[in-house]
Structure 1
Amino acid sequence: MKNLYIALSFVAISFTMSAQNKDTKAADKLYNQYEYVDAAKEYLKLVENGKATDYVYKQLADTYYNMFNSTEAVKWYAKATEMTQDAETYYRYAQMLKANGKYEESNKQMQKFANAAPSDTRAKAFRDNPNYVPRLLDKTKLYNINPSDISSDKSDFGAILYDNSLYFTSARNGSRKNYGVLDEPYLDIYKADYNADGTITNAATVNSLNSKYHDGPLTMSADGNTVYFSSDSFRDKKFEKDKKNNLKLGRNSIYKATKNGDSWGNIEFLPFNGKEFSTSNPSLSRDGKTLYFSSNRPGSIGGVDIWKVSINADGTYGDPQNLGNKVNTEGDESFPFIADDNKNLFFASSGKQGLGGFDIYQIDLSKGGEANNLGKPVNTEKDDFGFSFNGTKDIGFISSNRSGNDDIFVVTPVCAVDVTIVVTNAKTGAILANAGVSIMDDKKNIITSEMSNDKGEVTYKVECDRPYVVQATKDGFEGNTFAVNKSKGPTAKVDAALQPIDVIVTETEVVLKPIYFEFNKSNITQEGAFELDKLVQVMKNNDKMVIYAKAHTDNRGSDKYNLNLSDRRAKSTVQYIISKGIDASRISGKGMGELEPKVDCGKDCTEEQHAQNRRSEFLIVKK
């Protein structure tokens, strides 16, 4: 995405001249002045005139990378990497390939990157899990994403909702002069009305915050009286001089403003900004005690990291703290958003394993675990960033260039229920740890399976208003299924009480409930498996026992067909028992066809009688 680069590079430029020189000097001058549109034109002239070198190809590729033109970037990285390049070039090439959905080719470049920079955490993550994309694509859908009616034909991003006002950053102001990096107007902070019907109207610039340079995004205190926002340090005449390139280098910095009637005043340059680094994209915790932000300040792990700083009761600030390698990588992390609970942090990263470009991640800072990629449709092969969420209205926003331009999208949570299954002994009530627990949809397709913990619990997240079925099994107990009723959540509980296996064993037979088969089929059903598990337990308890299984059919179909069908059923039964750890020498079987009906009803059998005749019997050959 285009303007994300501006936000991440954190450099504002003022220059006085552009020297014209031979070969790459003119293009390099534009590149160093962040005039990427014009720089690309100059490098392309060199290609057209037969003056291209590996350096020109790499500069062209990096130019398009900085503008997130992934198609052109891939084209020129392919040329550049015909010769050996530095590790970061391979990484960038891999990212651009991934942004075009070319995951296999991306992995090849990531392997080159990993070889060139083996100690880089991005390389280590790739080596540990090189085929991570299918896992990301299979993640449970957490949010629905829809276009918003606030986006324009210019870059729009960083939307955040406070009460009924939506603040965002945009380059739509046609009265502003263009910025050379992307040939778009300078960024402004906008405010729009968020209406009861979900429409967004009346977008207008927040003039009391905007300067003639880049401004935005912002974050607001819970009482609505204080904002922190990004802006160029030029507004305070704070910059460095780059004499070599005839530049004045400003830095994106964080400013504080307080409510002054219907506008904002007392604009203050914060003390932890700096001339040598940039500070941007603030997010204020709801308790007002912590400000999160992006910065490439000293101590950063990568190019841009996420930091935090405490806000003291007297209005002073603590020392900025890097959020560490659970959040930050050697790549770039930006656009932090701290949720209302003051624990869950959302942020964008180009350094973690994602679907392409920048992906959005979530981490619970109170638990110290790993950051979680939000998966599709929040993330795509393109740049996705600027996540925010209003818990009161249960709605959020993201920014993405998935449509070719930086646009704002509406985020609505997928209604979900956390279903907790507790597995117990039905007779004693005792907790059953290490029980197998699967959750199935209403068509009995298994969605996922886990073992119960030491509390006998397994928790699954499922969609609202859909029925599910839980299947629970445990050695020594009868497996069973339990209905999960439709629910709007947020939580539901299922008591999965399993009966201890108590099987009738006579001198000649192990008596089970009928192992029924579906009409014309020989596969073991779930209900049949639960019964066969009882036989498995009996045989494990009596390690000398040998069983002969007889399978029967109903009388529909020819005698030959039924004999073959019953033989397949007998073999299925035997194979199931063996699969549960019983030695093959202890179980055998034979199909009897329709020769020994349980109910001799001739041609007038009911469906129930036919089902009774489709059965298995288990004769004891040896105890």
Structure 2
Amino acid sequence: MKRFLGMLTLVGFICSAEVTYAQVEKADQEFEQLSYSTALELYKKAFEQTKTVPILQKIVECNKRMNRYKDWEAWAAKLIAADNKNPDNYLTYGEALVRNGKYTDAKQSFYLFGRYSSGKLYESQFLQASCDSALYQMNNPQTQATVKSLDILSTPYSDWGLVKYRNGFVFSSDRPWEQKTIDKNSKKLYGWTGRPFLKIFYVESDPEKNSWGTPTLFSDFFNGEYHTAGAAFNERQNTVFFTRTRFVNTPETGTKPVLRLEIFMSEAWKEARAFKHNSILKYSVGDPAVTNDGTRLYFVSDMQGGYGGTDIYYCDMGADGEWGPFKNAGPHLNSKGDERFPTLMNDNVMFFSSNGRIGMGGLDIYRATREKEEWKNIIRLDYPINSPQDDFSLIVTKISGVPENADKIKLEGFFSSDRFDSKGADDIYQFTCVMPQFQKEYYYKGRTINNETGLPITNVTITVIDQASKVSNTYKSNEKGDYEVPLKPNRQYEIIMKKNNYFASKQIFNTGDKLRPDMLQSDLKFDPIVLDRAIRLNNIYYDFNKSTITAESQADLDNLVGVMKENPEIIIELGSHTDSRGDATANLALSQKRAQTVVDYVVAKGVPAARIIAKGYGKTKPLVMCDNTSDCSEAEHALNRRTEFKVTRLKTDMSASK
């Protein structure tokens, strides 16, 4: 009897394993088909049977891709508990915490991501800095901004992208709609979300009177089989641009479908035709924004050769009515992340969203101004317009002056967000905010100070160079060390400060980043030049027992190059030190090779070889004495392994000695 019961238990276990395997296999198929809502439920059922890390990772990824922020965080916490050594687990957990506004916890998770990762220190520090920035924004909100939900258009579905059109607005939504002609696609759902596909809707409105009609489908003619969204109109409103999606199998993906975007346009409501630069088998093209005259189109693409995941591009219409070659909008506008949803205000101001800059979390809204053919002066809009979640598709519907302050303007309009008080996946919000005029004069002021003593330094030469025009002006701090220099708004400046016997200081200052006058005040601190004082270079690493510099070291070596170029009067010695372990002669030779490698790098960057010499010290000058190598900890050995430079002479000394 016991043997029989044991056989039943074994059979039950095998059957359960087979059911679980079948569920996971089916879930993987749905995941590969981008049907994350279906895959998620199958993974969760499988996880009840067998709590494995791979299934847990897929559950986390499904919630992440569906922007289910709270579930994403909860499952990511379980993933950390199950596998606390995988750095990617800390990354996704930190991202989920950010989306839920838990910046302090997220910062710790990003720190652990950097600690357990190899070569991801910069990314970890960037993410931690974003947490600090967001906390500051939350604790010091811009009081001259208000945000409220546009409840009349809010549903449990996704509603976003309000754009002015005739006597109302169009917007994108995946709410159910009443089709004039019933066809096989009328009940089709999008597997990614489990909701209908996006369509374009129209609603009559008079925002001044807070009057809103009932939304209706904008056009059966424009709306396609899958997603149709993101409408943009020229000023005459006789041409519309919009985005459609398709599932395609590319040569690279084979049977695995890829969701790709294409732009279509319709003139005078004729049949929609494809945008010239669509290339659905190679990349996506979407998020159109058009200038008032309709002759320049901005769009977003993930094509190769950009600065990040998705970049903003543009192309111009020729005299023959055909679109010319496209160009990337440039590194000022585009980042290493994703830039999305550009909108234009008077053709020379752009609002767009990005997740590639220090911000609040997810997509944040930024403003850029155009100077000639370049978009510059990127500023992030303050909280509460930006939130820990995705914020995008901002349009300005009204601009007015601020009676009590002629240097500022008041903007009113709408944007979209999936923040926690939304009724659905995405909602439309109204906003007002006060910001500086696009053209006015700032004064950058403060005090020049000795960084070691804290005492003011007088007669510091301050050179201000407009990065766009290359026009420079020179000023000096007064007898109290106070300085004040005039700057134009929405400009990027290079500011160079020099004083004899002090290291020169240089910084890039962007007036477009500063919305509040108090942020234009800054003390400029200078380090005195002390001959033969060793200055440690941080983050200089070599491969084990080699003299080759790792890629991680180049940023700090570039800083040294900058110091040498900004201070052409200094002559330095570059010293390399080993720890106290190993043969003294071998260490001396290795340290000399390492020092020379650094010198060669600096010289290759344009610094004259006569201004820098290499000196290897081996283990002759330890910072921490170790009578026996076992007496020192690894941290103490690391202190002894260092690269330093010291100023040995100044060019003024050389001329005096001749």
What TM-score, normalized to structure 2? 0.56
Q: Secondary structure at the match of 2:309?
A: coil
- Name the residue aligned to 1:374: 381
Once residues 209 and 219 of structure 1 are traced to their aligned partners in structure 2, the CA distance between those partners, rounded to angstroms, is 13
Shift of 1:325: 3.8
- Is the alpha carbon distance of 1:359 and 1:421 closer, same or farther for their aligned partners in structure 2, counting shifts above 3 Å? closer
Once residues 197 and 154 of structure 1 are traced to their aligned partners in structure 2, the CA distance between those partners, rounded to angstroms, is 26
Once residues 330 and 246 of structure 1 are traced to their aligned partners in structure 2, the CA distance between those partners, rounded to angstroms, is 30
- 1:336 equivalent among 339, 342, 346: 342
Once residues 38 and 240 of structure 1 are traced to their aligned partners in structure 2, the CA distance between those partners, rounded to angstroms, is 21
- 1:193 equivalent among 204, 211, 221: 204
Once residues 258 and 361 of structure 2 are traced to their aligned partners in structure 1, the CA distance between those partners, rounded to angstroms, is 30
- 1:153 equivalent among 151, 156, 166: 156
| Aligned residue identity for 1:192 | V
Shift of 1:255: 0.4
Instruction: Indicate if the aligned counterparts of 1:301 and 1:328 stay in contact, CA closer than 8 A.
Output: yes
| Aligned residue identity for 2:266 | A
CA shift digits 1:515-545 (9 cap, x unpaired): xxxxxxxxxxxxxxxxxxxxxxxxxxxxxxx
- Name the residue aligned to 1:294: 300
| Aligned residue identity for 1:109 | S
Once residues 228 and 345 of structure 1 are traced to their aligned partners in structure 2, the CA distance between those partners, rounded to angstroms, is 17
- Name the residue aligned to 2:263: 254
- Is the alpha carbon distance of 1:433 and 1:201 closer, same or farther for their aligned partners in structure 2, counting shifts above 3 Å? farther
CA shift digits 1:379-434 (9 cap, x unpaired): 112221111223579632111111242111112333877986889xxxxxxx9986
Question: Within 5 Å, which residues of 2 pair with 1:340-359?
Answer: 340=346, 342-359=347-364
| Aligned residue identity for 2:320 | D
| Aligned residue identity for 1:258 | E
Question: Within 5 Å, which residues of 2 pair with 1:154-303?
Answer: 154-175=157-178, 176-177=186-187, 178-195=189-206, 196-207=208-219, 208-233=221-246, 239-240=248-249, 249=258, 251-259=260-268, 264-274=269-279, 275-303=281-309
- Name the residue aligned to 1:574: none
Once residues 151 and 96 of structure 1 are traced to their aligned partners in structure 2, the CA distance between those partners, rounded to angstroms, is 25
Shift of 1:282: 0.7
Question: What stretches of structure 2 of length at least 5 have no aligned partner?
Answer: 1-18, 179-185, 401-410, 445-473, 491-516, 518-658
- Name the residue aligned to 1:7: none
Instruction: Indicate if the aligned counterparts of 2:249 and 2:255 stay in contact, CA closer than 8 A.
Output: no
- Is the alpha carbon distance of 1:136 and 1:221 closer, same or farther for their aligned partners in structure 2, counting shifts above 3 Å? same
- Is the alpha carbon distance of 1:422 and 1:414 closer, same or farther for their aligned partners in structure 2, counting shifts above 3 Å? closer
- Name the residue aligned to 1:511: none
- Name the residue aligned to 1:477: none
- Name the residue aligned to 1:12: none
Instruction: Indicate if the aligned counterparts of 1:20 and 1:26 stay in contact, CA closer than 8 A.
Output: no
Once residues 168 and 143 of structure 1 are traced to their aligned partners in structure 2, the CA distance between those partners, rounded to angstroms, is 24
Shift of 1:309: 2.4
- Is the alpha carbon distance of 1:100 and 1:126 closer, same or farther for their aligned partners in structure 2, counting shifts above 3 Å? closer
Once residues 85 and 285 of structure 1 are traced to their aligned partners in structure 2, the CA distance between those partners, rounded to angstroms, is 50
Once residues 220 and 89 of structure 1 are traced to their aligned partners in structure 2, the CA distance between those partners, rounded to angstroms, is 43
- 2:434 equivalent among 414, 437, 440: 414
Once residues 355 and 45 of structure 2 are traced to their aligned partners in structure 1, the CA distance between those partners, rounded to angstroms, is 31
Instruction: Indicate if the aligned counterparts of 2:200 and 2:223 stay in contact, CA closer than 8 A.
Output: yes
Worse-superposed segment, 348-357 or 363-372: 363-372
Once residues 85 and 253 of structure 1 are traced to their aligned partners in structure 2, the CA distance between those partners, rounded to angstroms, is 41
- Name the residue aligned to 1:512: none
Shift of 1:358: 1.8
Question: Within 5 Å, which residues of 2 pair with 1:490-505?
Answer: none
| Aligned residue identity for 1:216 | A
Instruction: Indicate if the aligned counterparts of 1:434 and 1:454 stay in contact, CA closer than 8 A.
Output: no
Once residues 54 and 240 of structure 2 are traced to their aligned partners in structure 1, the CA distance between those partners, rounded to angstroms, is 44
CA shift digits 1:211-242 (9 cap, x unpaired): 232101111111111111001247xxxx3268
Once residues 477 and 375 of structure 2 are traced to their aligned partners in structure 1, the CA distance between those partners, rounded to angstroms, is 26
- Is the alpha carbon distance of 1:317 and 1:128 closer, same or farther for their aligned partners in structure 2, counting shifts above 3 Å? same
Once residues 155 and 482 of structure 2 are traced to their aligned partners in structure 1, the CA distance between those partners, rounded to angstroms, is 50
- Name the residue aligned to 2:40: 40
Instruction: Indicate if the aligned counterparts of 1:121 and 1:330 stay in contact, CA closer than 8 A.
Output: no
| Aligned residue identity for 1:295 | S
| Aligned residue identity for 2:361 | G
- Name the residue aligned to 1:140: 142
Once residues 421 and 240 of structure 1 are traced to their aligned partners in structure 2, the CA distance between those partners, rounded to angstroms, is 54
Worse-superposed segment, 287-296 or 150-159: 287-296
Shift of 1:123: 4.4
Q: Secondary structure at the match of 1:209?
A: coil
Once residues 42 and 254 of structure 1 are traced to their aligned partners in structure 2, the CA distance between those partners, rounded to angstroms, is 35
- Is the alpha carbon distance of 1:374 and 1:24 closer, same or farther for their aligned partners in structure 2, counting shifts above 3 Å? same
CA shift digits 1:308-332 (9 cap, x unpaired): 2233232222333333443333432
- Name the residue aligned to 2:62: 63
| Aligned residue identity for 1:399 | S
| Aligned residue identity for 1:206 | F
Shift of 1:171: 1.1
Question: Does 1:396 pair with 2:413?
Answer: yes
CA shift digits 1:118-143 (9 cap, x unpaired): 46875463476762224433363564
Once residues 202 and 435 of structure 1 are traced to their aligned partners in structure 2, the CA distance between those partners, rounded to angstroms, is 65
Once residues 489 and 274 of structure 2 are traced to their aligned partners in structure 1, the CA distance between those partners, rounded to angstroms, is 48
Instruction: Indicate if the aligned counterparts of 1:94 and 1:107 stay in contact, CA closer than 8 A.
Output: yes
Once residues 20 and 251 of structure 1 are traced to their aligned partners in structure 2, the CA distance between those partners, rounded to angstroms, is 33
Once residues 286 and 191 of structure 2 are traced to their aligned partners in structure 1, the CA distance between those partners, rounded to angstroms, is 20
Once residues 413 and 245 of structure 1 are traced to their aligned partners in structure 2, the CA distance between those partners, rounded to angstroms, is 49
Q: Secondary structure at the match of 2:209?
A: coil
Instruction: Indicate if the aligned counterparts of 1:121 and 1:329 stay in contact, CA closer than 8 A.
Output: no
Once residues 143 and 282 of structure 1 are traced to their aligned partners in structure 2, the CA distance between those partners, rounded to angstroms, is 27
- Is the alpha carbon distance of 1:244 and 1:293 closer, same or farther for their aligned partners in structure 2, counting shifts above 3 Å? closer
- Name the residue aligned to 1:504: none
Once residues 452 and 112 of structure 1 are traced to their aligned partners in structure 2, the CA distance between those partners, rounded to angstroms, is 42
User: Greater helix share, 1 or 2?
Assistant: 2
Question: Within 5 Å, which residues of 2 pair with 1:13-24?
Answer: 22=22, 24=24
| Aligned residue identity for 1:131 | D
- Is the alpha carbon distance of 1:89 and 1:200 closer, same or farther for their aligned partners in structure 2, counting shifts above 3 Å? farther
Instruction: Indicate if the aligned counterparts of 2:144 and 2:433 stay in contact, CA closer than 8 A.
Output: yes
Once residues 79 and 118 of structure 2 are traced to their aligned partners in structure 1, the CA distance between those partners, rounded to angstroms, is 18
Q: Secondary structure at the match of 1:60?
A: helix
| Aligned residue identity for 1:188 | K
Q: Secondary structure at the match of 2:271?
A: strand
Once residues 391 and 202 of structure 2 are traced to their aligned partners in structure 1, the CA distance between those partners, rounded to angstroms, is 22
Instruction: Indicate if the aligned counterparts of 1:55 and 1:80 stay in contact, CA closer than 8 A.
Output: no
Once residues 332 and 117 of structure 1 are traced to their aligned partners in structure 2, the CA distance between those partners, rounded to angstroms, is 24
Choose between structure 1 and 2 for higher RCO, CA contacts under 8 A separated by at least 6 residues. 1
| Aligned residue identity for 1:221 | N
Q: Secondary structure at the match of 2:55?
A: helix
- 2:369 equivalent among 351, 364, 367: 364
Q: Cα RMSD (Å) of the superposition?
A: 3.8
Once residues 316 and 85 of structure 2 are traced to their aligned partners in structure 1, the CA distance between those partners, rounded to angstroms, is 42
Question: Does 1:318 pair with 2:324?
Answer: yes
Once residues 360 and 421 of structure 1 are traced to their aligned partners in structure 2, the CA distance between those partners, rounded to angstroms, is 24
| Aligned residue identity for 1:363 | A
| Aligned residue identity for 1:161 | K
Shift of 1:250: 5.1
- Is the alpha carbon distance of 1:349 and 1:117 closer, same or farther for their aligned partners in structure 2, counting shifts above 3 Å? farther
Question: Does 1:109 pair with 2:109?
Answer: yes
- Is the alpha carbon distance of 1:142 and 1:351 closer, same or farther for their aligned partners in structure 2, counting shifts above 3 Å? farther
